[in-house]
Amino acid sequence: MRALIQRVTEASVTVEGEKIGEIGPGLLILVCAMQGDTEAQADKLAAKIAKLRIFKDEADKMNRSLLDAGGAALVVSQFTLAADTARGNRPGFSTAAAPEEGKRLYDYFADRMAVQGVAVATGQFAADMKVALVNDGPVTIWMEV
């Protein structure tokens, strides 16, 4: 699985003019299931993200996790993280999981974040979403398991 995480002061996702998910301080997690990904990979990614020490401590150093900081996660499906740009000018997405499997693993990942003890809001799989965020730092990290 692939994820792009952004530390945010706030983030929201809107579908057809309706805000369906929003958080205050925490992480916006754009996530993509790749062909062959498993629940074990989703488990590993969720645990890693929940414990990743990228929030500031009292000494202003990135030393606290999402769990330590009490932040929330906005989990948004993002199949374009599978983009292959090696040839030509039009990216290919053939390495992304099939839609049914992608949705299953996306839902599973969001659930695993909640199991870690994180408050979770979500986007809508395969929808045309408008994502708004205020990146804190900015801190943006690419992850793949």
- Known catalytic residues are 78-80
Position 145: which residue type?
A: V
Question: Given its phi and psi angles, is residue 47 left (phi above 0), alpha (psi -120 to 50 degrees) or beta?
Answer: alpha
DSSP state of 17: T
DSSP letter (8 states) at residue 136? E
Paired strand residues for 81: none
With b meaning 16 or more CB within 10 Å and e meaning fewer, what string describes 36-68? ebeeebbbebbeebbebebbbeeeeeeebbbee
Nearest CA to 123 out of 8, 30, 17 is that of: 30
